[in-house]
Structures are given as C-alpha cells and as structure tokens.
Amino acid sequence: MRCLTSAGGCQLLRFHYRAALDSFLKARSLAQSIGDREEAVAIAVDLSSVYLQMWDAGAARQAAEQGLAEAAGLRQAYFIPSLLLQMGRLHAMSGDGLAKDFFAEGIEAAREQDDVATEARGWDLLGEDRLARGQLALAERALNQAFRLRALHDPPELAFSYGRLGALKLAQGDLRSARQFNERAIAAARLGKPAWPAYLLEHQRGEIRLARGEIEEALADFSSALDSMVEWRGEVLPAMSSLTSANIALEEQIFRSFIETGAEHALRTGDARWAAKTFEALETNRAASLREGLALADLWRKELPPEYWEYLAQLRTEETRALQTGRGAPDADSLHLKLSEMEAAVGLTFPANKDENFRSRSSLSHFQSGLRASELFLSFHLGAEGSYLWVAGQRSLHLYRLAPERQIAAEVRAFCDAVQAGSPDAAPLGERLYAELFGSLDSREAGKRTWFLSLEGALFELPFPALVRERKNGKAVYLIESHSLQTVSGALLMSERNASRRGGWMLGVGDPIYNVADPRWTASAPYRRSRGGLLNLFAETRRNTENSQLGRLVGSGTEVEASAAAWRAAASSDAASHESAGTATVLEGEDARRDVFLKLAARSPAVIHLATHVLMLSGRRDEAFVAFGLGSSAETEFLTSTDIAMLHVPGALVIMTGCATGTGDVRSGAGLLGLTRAWSMAGAEGVIATEWPVEDSRGGIFSRFYSYLQGSTPAEALRLSQTEMIHSGTWQASPSYWASYQLSGGGR
C-alpha cells in the first residue's frame, strides 16, 4: 500500500496522471481492506490532488470531503496539513471566502509537524489566492515566505516559487523581474526538478513578452505552449468530467491568449498564415473533450462493471427526487465521483489520446478539401476587447473582426427577447445583428447556401434562422429562406451524412400518461385490479402527486403520429427505398414508458422523435430530464443527460420538441453542455431541439420536415419546412414559432 502511494506521488510530480490515479486507487483498495483509516484519508487527499490538476473541482471536492469525514478522531495524523490545504484550494476555486482560514490552519498544522515542504506549499497557495483576488501586496508577502522556506530548507523545490513569483511580478508590472523568475523556473524544469508543467511556463513567458510589446516573440511562446500542452493533455484522466474540465481550463489559460493575439496580429499585418494558425488552434480545442469521449465511449459501454450501471440508476433516482422536491441531492456528488472513477479505471486500458495535430497546414487543407463548393464553415471567438470570425471555404480562409463579446451578447439577448415575444422590434434587431456578424462576408461567401456554425458564448442562444438579411417591400427576408444552417461542435467532428437513414425506421414518443387524473391511467394500470394494489397505489399517489405530476401534452401525440405518417409516406414514394423503409413505431399513453423506449432505442433507429416534457435542475443547466410516463408508483419516469450519454444510437437523428431542449450550460472551450451534447456522446449524427418553449403545434412543422428528409440533409429539410411556415399565412409564420428549432451535430 505504501509503495503504491509513494509511486503515485512520484507519478503525480511527473504529471503522469493516469498512472498516478491507478496507483492511488489500488493503494486505497488495500488501505480499506486492512482497515487503515489514516492511510485511506491520506490517499483521498492524493486522489483529490489528481482530480484538481484536471480542474475537475467536483471530483476533487468529493474526494477531499470523503477524506475529511474519515479523518474524525485522527486530528494529529500526518496528513492533516495536506488535507486542510486541499480544502483551501477547493474553497478558493468556489470563491466562497473560506479559503484563507483553511490555508492558515494548514500552514500552522504543517509548522507544528515541522513539515517545511508542506508549509511552503501552504504559503504558495495562500499567495496564489490573494494574487487571483488582486491583493498584490498580501500575495507578495505570502509568496516570499514560501521562497524563504525553500531557500533555507528545500532548494530543489525553488522552481515552484520561481514560477509563482514570475506571475506576481508580471501582475505588478515588473517585467524584468518577471522574466528572470520565469527563466529560472524553465531552467529547473529542463533539469527534471519538480516544477510547473512546461506549457504553463512557456505561456507565462509569452505573456511577459506580450506585455513588453514583443508580439512575434510572444506568439512563438504561445505556440510552443500549445505544442507542449499536447503531450500533457494525453495524460488527462479518461473520465468524461475530467476531459471536459481540462478542456474548459485550457481554453482559458492557453488557447485564448494564442487565438486573440494571433488573430489581431493577422488582421494588423495581413499575414494569412496567422489567420490559419489561429483557426486551427480554435478548432483543435473546441469540443476536444467530446471527441475524446467518443473515442472512449464504446470501451466504456462494453467494459464498465455492473456496479457502474447500478450507481447510474442511483444517481438518476437521487437527482429525480431533487427535481421533484427541490431539496437538493446530497448523495449526487458522491455518485458522480464513483462513476468518474470507474470510467477512468476502464479508460486506463485505452491508449492515451495524444490529440490530433490539426495545427498544421496540411490538416487545414485536408479539412477544406472535404467541404463542398456550396458549403461554408464559420467559426466564432468572442473576446473582451474584440471578437473574431473565421470563414473557411474549399479554397479560402478569411478572418474578420467583430464587436466585443459584451456588445454581441447584449444584442443577442435583445433580439431573442423580441423574437420570442413576437415583437415588431425583432426584424430591425435581426437585420442589425446580421450585419454585425456577417456584413463583412464577400459575395462569394455570402452566396454559399450551406453554413456550418462553430459557436461560442451567447451565440448558442441566438436564433440564427430568424436573422434578417434584407427587407423587400417592407417585409423581412430571413436568413433561413436562403441558407441551411447547422451548429457543429468543431471542424474535427464533422462527418458525412448517415446513408442508412433512407432505409431506416423511426421511433417516436408522444403524449405519455403524466398524471393520475389522466383517464387513460385508470384504464391502463393492470396492477390496480387487486384491492391491495389499489390501496398501495393510492397511498403512493398521495405522497407523490403534489410534486411529481406533470400536465398532459395532448397535441404531442398528434405531432408524433403526423410525423410518423409523413415519414412512412415519404419513404414509400422514394424509388430507392427498400423493404424496411418507412417503418415507424410510436409510443403513446401507457406505452410511452422509459423501459419500453430503451429497448427499442437499442435497435438503432434512424430517427428518434421525442415530444415530451423536459425539465432541469435548479442551478444545473447541464443536467436535463426527459420525462416519460408514470411508473408503478405513480411517479414520472425520467431519462437524464447522464443516462443518454451512455446510450448507443449510432447515426441517429434526434428531434426533441419539448420546452427549451436545446439549452444548457455554455462553457468556453467545451461548448454547450446539455441534452444535445449527451445525444452526441451517444452517437447521434444530429439533434434538432428548441431554444425556447413553443406552443403545442400538433406537428405542423415536422409533418413537412419528414416529407423533405428522405431526399435532403436534415439541415436542408429543416430549412424547407421553416420556409413553408414563413409563407403559410398562419400564426406559425411568426419566427416566435419556427425559429426556436435549430439543428446541431456533426453529420451532414
């Protein structure tokens, strides 16, 4: 056990995170088997440190809190200083103001144990927290104390001080000292001494040079940092939460500096090489966690132990209870940690992903050659000082400057509000926003009919179809009337259209039984035939009805039936269709149950259409719940985002017409986290979802959509059906109805 713990510590210092995790998990298992509480807590701190270096704060916090709970009665144990400092780091990340006290206690505990190395680390962490808060004088005092301790007692660890003092001097504007400290840290790292990862030191050197006005030298350092980061990234833990957290942090710490500095340099000098390099960097990081997760998905589904699926079911139960009661889910974090550990343990058998080297001219050329003459790829980056748009065609790549993020976000919010409200202000706002985002495109670019949109920030909330290109005879001409639009997770995730859809089958769910007042419930519950079953059900219903019952969606059944009829009719008229073409299975009423849906979804439907309620946890926009019919205890059954990500629906097109199914948690570097991403993890080729709740339409737009789908791409079929709505002369002509539906995904 102790050998494994020591090995894990060495591996962690060498940034071999996967090996360290393996060592610590094995050591913990041994500690638990012999009942060694003290070592088990120490290993919990080590595990928390591994997760925190992935910026996976949830897993790190849960591991540390488990250690804290186990530490009761062991207040004099050797691990106490490290545990207190780890809790301080976690509170510093949450910004709740408690970090300072934990750091102070940890430093004092280390001093009492005469543990100089841990005491120095405590001063470092305290200084880092104060630096982040802009308290430069207090930060300097703490970091100097760490430097003094190391200089006197532990010189090999001075590299840790050099790196942090370089960051402090940069913040103070003392560029000469910042450069000296940074160079010492880099030299120590080259000699193999404990230090920061090379990419962080190289990036810091770039920031110092940028502050000195040495633009080209800064760009060279930022580029070097990206190259070093590729090797480091290959060690990120193979669990979905760690992959996503690392992606978000790398965007903020590394990619943003390179992209914004390089893009501005390209625009100022006219150097097309930097336009290409920044585009490549942007698309390398965008959705990298999703790309890596997809590479691991089959392994997870095949190799995860039965306990994983049991914990997943427990998590669903816990979160569903929180959704219904609004009282929180106390065990959810613990269950998430168990799931992440199991994913990582299985993922360790998979070769580390060293990241596709998309940052090369040949890779860019390969990507562009895959675009058709009618296709255009538009990639956005939103920055505080200015935003940028890269526009790639078969043989061209242009870069345009846009307004700062704050301005774009304000215009997007105003436009969204106007569209949803059906306000007459929507058209002029949409025309202005179209000019802001696309007014710089040349005529050849603007004329390409198929646009792929790689988005960021507030742009995920923008109803692109409702943007106004121009006014004719006083009427708005919408972007969707001339262009098919599809949001993609990044250039590296684009793929060809699923050719099997024309011969596939459709699975639809609509009008489930959501409450016991539904007359179909009385007629369709066979277990209510016995007196005991009736009395038990009555008791359960009294307990559950108040919070868990949902209103019936009468029109959703009509929507799914009309969609299935259109799917069958279109397939039967297609001369190229074969025997299975046009098959459609519709689950309604008592059949619209989660278990029935899962069995059918496992048969690889070409299309999945869900006309159901969708709910979200308060404060957790990344976790959504697709509602199915009542279960045996009269409670609504749900399929969560986490459940969906572990399904296998290769090549499926998923349509979700519930309330705001296309929303989620927007995170720079990871994109939109929610139902659409979960379906992508499950292998879906594309997802059509709603940006806001729309009136129950009884299937109008989708009966037309399916009639076009057999002979068109999903993007073009959606464009044609939305255009029909625009010219229908009915209430559905308003963009408040049709513009809510947008397509995302990599298939085309």
HEC letters along 169-218: HHHHCCHHHHHHHHHHHHHHHHCCCCCCCHHHHHHHHHHHHHHCCCHHHH
**In the predicted structure, residue 524 carries a pLDDT above the cut 50:** no
Q: What are phi and psi of 696, to 5 degrees?
A: -55, 110
pLDDT the model gives residue 503: 59
Lowest mean pLDDT among 123-132, 557-566, 598-607, 658-667: 658-667
Question: What is the mean predicted confidence (pLDDT) over 449-476?
Answer: 94
Cα torsion at 151, 156, 157, 160 (round to 10°)? 100
Contact 180/187 with Cβ under 8 angstroms? no
By the 10 Å C-beta count (0-12 exposed, 13-18 middle, 19+ buried), 306 is classed as: exposed
Strand partners, 42: none
Q: Which two tokens stand for residue 385?
A: 């000082």
Question: What is the mean predicted confidence (pLDDT) over 641-649?
Answer: 93
**In the predicted structure, residue 115 carries a pLDDT above the cut 90:** yes
pLDDT the model gives residue 538: 39
CA pair distance 392, 490, nearest whole angstrom: 13
Q: Which two tokens stand for residue 720?
A: 């044609």
276 confidence band (pLDDT: 50, 70, 90): very high
Q: What residues contact residue 327 under an 8 Å CB cut-off, 6+ apart?
A: 321
**In the predicted structure, residue 194 carries a pLDDT above the cut 90:** no
pLDDT the model gives residue 545: 42
Q: What residues contact residue 589 under an 8 Å CB cut-off, 6+ apart?
A: 511, 512, 513, 520, 524, 557, 629
HEC states along 4-21?
Answer: HHHHHHHHHHCCCHHHHH
72 confidence band (pLDDT: 50, 70, 90): confident
Lowest mean pLDDT among 157-161, 201-205, 256-260: 157-161
Distance from the first to the final alpha carbon of the chain: 52
Where is pLDDT greater, at 411 or 356?
411
182 confidence band (pLDDT: 50, 70, 90): very high
| Amino acid at residue number 255 | F
Tens-place pLDDT, residues 530-568: 444 443 443 444 444 444 578 888 888 889 999 999 998
The mean of the pLDDT values for the chain is 88
pLDDT the model gives residue 502: 53
Residue 410 Rama label (left phi>0; alpha psi -120 to 50; beta): alpha
CA pair distance 155, 729, nearest whole angstrom: 79
Where is pLDDT greater, at 519 or 668?
519
Tens-place pLDDT, residues 574-618: 544 444 456 899 999 999 999 999 999 999 999 999 999 988 877
Lowest mean pLDDT among 95-99, 358-362, 514-518: 358-362
CA 321 to chain centre: 24
Contact 369/342 with Cβ under 8 angstroms? no
pLDDT the model gives residue 525: 47
pLDDT the model gives residue 289: 83
Query: Which DSSP helix (H) or strand (E) runs through 477?
Result: strand 475-478
CA pair distance 198, 189, nearest whole angstrom: 7
Lowest mean pLDDT among 336-345, 495-504, 707-716: 495-504
DSSP string, 21-87: HHHHHHHHHHHHHTT-HHHHHHHHHHHHHHHHHTT-HHHHHHHHHHHHHHTTT-TTSTTHHHHHHHH
Q: Which two tokens stand for residue 33?
A: 């088997």
pLDDT the model gives residue 696: 58
* Total residues found in the chain within this entry: 748
Question: What is the mean predicted confidence (pLDDT) over 201-219?
Answer: 97
CA pair distance 398, 378, nearest whole angstrom: 10
What CATH class has 1-71? mainly alpha
Contact 563/609 with Cβ under 8 angstroms? yes
Measuring CA to CA, which residue among 382, 403, 379, 401 is closest to residue 391?
379
Strand partners, 375: 450
Question: What is the mean predicted confidence (pLDDT) over 82-107?
Answer: 93
Question: What is the mean predicted confidence (pLDDT) over 170-177?
Answer: 97
Question: What is the mean predicted confidence (pLDDT) over 261-271?
Answer: 96
pLDDT the model gives residue 574: 58
Query: Which DSSP helix (H) or strand (E) runs through 398?
Result: strand 397-402
At 602 the three-state DSSP class reads: coil
**In the predicted structure, residue 328 carries a pLDDT above the cut 80:** no
For the structural domain made of 370-493, what CATH number should be given? 3.30.420
Where is pLDDT greater, at 457 or 539?
457
520 confidence band (pLDDT: 50, 70, 90): confident
